[in-house]
Chain A
Amino acid sequence: MELSVNGREAYVYTGGRTFDASLPTVVFIHGAEHDHCVWVLQTRYFAHHGRSVLAVDLPGHGRSAGPVLGSVEEMADWIVALLDAAGVGKAALVGHSMGSLIALECAARHPARVSALALVGTAFPMRVSDELLGATRDDEPLAQDMVNIWSHSAYAQYPGNPGPGFWVMGENLRLMQRQKPGVMHADFVACNAYANGAAAAAAVKCPALLVLGKRDIMTPPRATKELMAAMPQSRKVEIAGSGHALMAEKPDEVLEALVGFV
């Protein structure tokens, strides 16, 4: 579905169903250098199980017009502008990686608009090493390889993928290569610069769920202590055998964790 958000064209995937604002709405927010299709094995399910789905392409990503927004805070406000454009009052937010920071910040800034918060593959602070940040600026193909390799558990290089016939690392690499030059650097700068996570978490009053990969080395489960402490109402699900690319490596487990929560 195409929407006009802040005067620019934005694409949202609605899970294979016509969007219906009268149903409880779940917004899915992808991470850095990605688009809506990272959620393909979760979103379609919700759209056919009593929810309306808005799986966004963030500005400058996938089919949405640019420019890329430079900070987590701006992207958080953009999510609310998107809810306005879709005619949705309140929605559950599900975010992955950079998208989890956007969802967190959005829930803190706009508590009246967010009913529940699910953070998948999250960490705060989400520091990016100088080496990777430099590569996103100077050598995107190298940075894409770094992120692709570090995002998948050691075993994901030979996984036995539940999506028959797909090679998850190949798919992920091609998806990153589809994003426009410069997007990757802007996204990683935004993750690295985001400083408001602990304060935002303390301000979040809605139910919160963290879905973490036990083998995640990009956002390791131990890097969520501060967030969990600031959100006493939060709960976490750790998924065995998954790295940072949880929705591809363990699609059913991520889905089960979200069912009943959003």
Chain B
Amino acid sequence: MANPRYLGFDTLSLHAGQQPDPTTGARATPIFQTTSFVFRDTDHAASLFNMERAGHVYSRISNPTNAVLEERIAALENGIGAIATASGQAALHLAVCTIAGAGSHIVSSRSLYGGSHNLLQYTLKRFGIETTFVDPRNLDGWRAAIRPNTRLLFAETLGNPGLDVLDVPNVAQIAHEAKLPLLVDSTFTTPYLMRPFDLGADLLYHSATKFLGGHGVAIGGLLVDGGAFDWEASGRFPELTEPYDGFHGMDFQEESTVAAFLLRARREGLRDFGACMAPTVAFQILQGVETLALRMQRHVENTREVAAFLAGHAAVESVNYPELDTHPDCALARKLLPRGCGAVFTFAIKGGRAAGRRFIESLRVFSHLANVGDAKSLVIHPASTTHFRMDDAALAAAGIGPGTIRLSVGLEDPRDLIDDLAGALRVSQKN
């Protein structure tokens, strides 16, 4: 037999999870825009409900279009399976609530997307789940924050807003020494730039709203299980290793040695919280995933050009991109992110809030909005928008300066991006 080889990333981006539709011959993934699926007979119905057979019942729990997306992302991530959710936030919530409850504790990086921070700091606390925030670069801090009731370590692969590169192998090791799983938010890196399971992470999720879709037309999330974490050996997860009254006394770990987490997340979390993805959204995200490798290459190339331009500009105080040797994680980035550090980064403009405001308002190609990961270039000035109520001291505590600008570099001709930035920088410095 010839040397065995798995299909490559680009091939999986196009094909994983789907073959031409056996009924119609459709080559593209059909949108199964249906709430429900007919049963062959009453016995078939009962066996589907009881998880005796595989198949679809109701689109809150599973849907064939969503299943293609789930399987494709699982394949690209080298995981065992995935669950498509209504948003990235829903994916984080589903991950946490599958293995934590009132009285549980999470150790999280403090360098987080604001929405994730809100969920952990305020909202989950209301439901009895406490979070300790740590500096992601301080490995001893991670270790010291773990308590007997800790259920999860959590961080972004590239943290907000400082683009801290997560030392996945070492943080995973700290988690595993405490018999805990590491969950990462892979939104900024996508499986093209980093495959966290290969580095030791156990669970991950994406805001598919961003680079996976890439077109900025759909909100969605994906929660992916690496399948390597041993819940039974940990002893801290009765949700997965003891009978569940909410599903005929099912012990998920007995049903599947590797997929207990995903079984519970779907059978409890999707069923009861109900934050499922719409099939049309799954189709839209799939359109993006087909070109993920090509787009990420171009995102990174454009970002490198833009970052280099800004780093050499007189109106720019500093550029915060992990590929530059001025970034504290530059060496780690070279090791963990050899294909690039993504397309989102910040820089500081000279002249503070006023200069930032003039800069944003002068841009013509960059769109001023609160998102990242679109094919179109995006910009935001936190001090005059999302964080405008904060004084400079409060901003500094959040890692944001009065002149901090965040860019999400798109797929336009890089010369046009640089011209746009050059013009706006010129205007920003006029008093």
Contact = CB atoms under 8 A, between A and B. Distances in A.
Nearest to B260: A37
A145 B78 CA distance: 13
B6 A162 contact: no
A41 B75 contact: no
Which of A41, A149, A160 has most chain B Cβ within 10 Å? Answer: A160
Contacts, number: 142
A22 interface: no
Given A129-B1, A160-B67, A35 B257 contact: yes
Interface in A146-190: 146, 148-150, 155, 157-167, 169-171, 174-175, 177-178
A48 B50 contact: yes
Contacts of B228: 174, 177
A21 interface: no
Nearest to A14: B254
A166 B4 contact: no
B19 A162 contact: no
Contact of B74 (A160, A170, A252, A255): A170
B71 A165 contact: yes
A16 interface: yes
B83 interface: yes
B259 A166 contact: yes
A62 B78 CA distance: 22
Interface residues of A, number: 40
B160 interface: no
Given A16-B250, A62-B257, A160 B50 contact: no
Given A157-B6, A160-B19, A160-B67, A170 B1 contact: no
Q: How large is the interface on B (under 10, 10 to 19, 20 to 34, 35 or more residues)?
A: 35 or more
A170 B17 contact: no
Given A37-B255, A146-B4, A166-B71, A155 B52 contact: no
B248 interface: yes
A171 B1 contact: no
A158 B258 contact: no
Interface in B42-74: 46-47, 50-56, 61-64, 66-68, 70-71, 74
A149 B56 contact: no
B54 A158 contact: no
Which of A129, A163, A178 has most chain B Cβ within 10 Å? Answer: A163
Contacts of A41: 52-54
Interface string B252-266: 001111110010001
Contacts of B68: 160
B259 A164 contact: no
Contact of B18 (A160, A169, A217): A160
Nearest to B75: A167
B62 to A, nearest CB: 4
A161 B67 contact: yes
Nearest to B61: A164
A45 interface: yes
Nearest to B222: A165
B257 A37 contact: yes
A164 B80 contact: no
A217 B5 CA distance: 15
A217 B1 CA distance: 9
A145 B6 contact: yes
Given A161-B67, A164-B67, A171-B80, A252 B257 contact: no
Contacts of A37: 255-258
Contacts of B79: 167, 170
Contacts of A169: 6, 75
A13 interface: yes
A252 B1 CA distance: 29
Interface string B71-95: 1001100111111100000000000
Nearest to A167: B74
B218 to A, nearest CB: 19
B145 interface: no
A212 to B, nearest CB: 18
Which of A148, A167, A170, A178 has most chain B Cβ within 10 Å? Answer: A167
Given A35-B257, A37-B258, A178-B258, 11 more contacts: A41-B52, A45-B52, A62-B257, A150-B4, A157-B7, A164-B61, A164-B62, A165-B84, A170-B78, A251-B53, A255-B53
26 contacts: A13-B254, A13-B255, A16-B248, A16-B255, A41-B53, A44-B51, A48-B50, A145-B4, A155-B19, A157-B7, A157-B12, A158-B19, A161-B67, A162-B55, A165-B74, A166-B262, A167-B16, A167-B17, A167-B80, A170-B75, A170-B78, A170-B81, A171-B80, A177-B228, A178-B258, A252-B55
Interface of B: 1, 4-7, 12, 15-19, 46-47, 50-56, 61-64, 66-68, 70-71, 74-75, 78-84, 226-228, 230, 232, 248-250, 254-259, 262, 266
* Shortest beta-carbon contacts, A-B, top 9: A164-B62, A165-B70, A149-B4, A174-B227, A167-B74, A158-B15, A45-B52, A166-B81, A162-B54
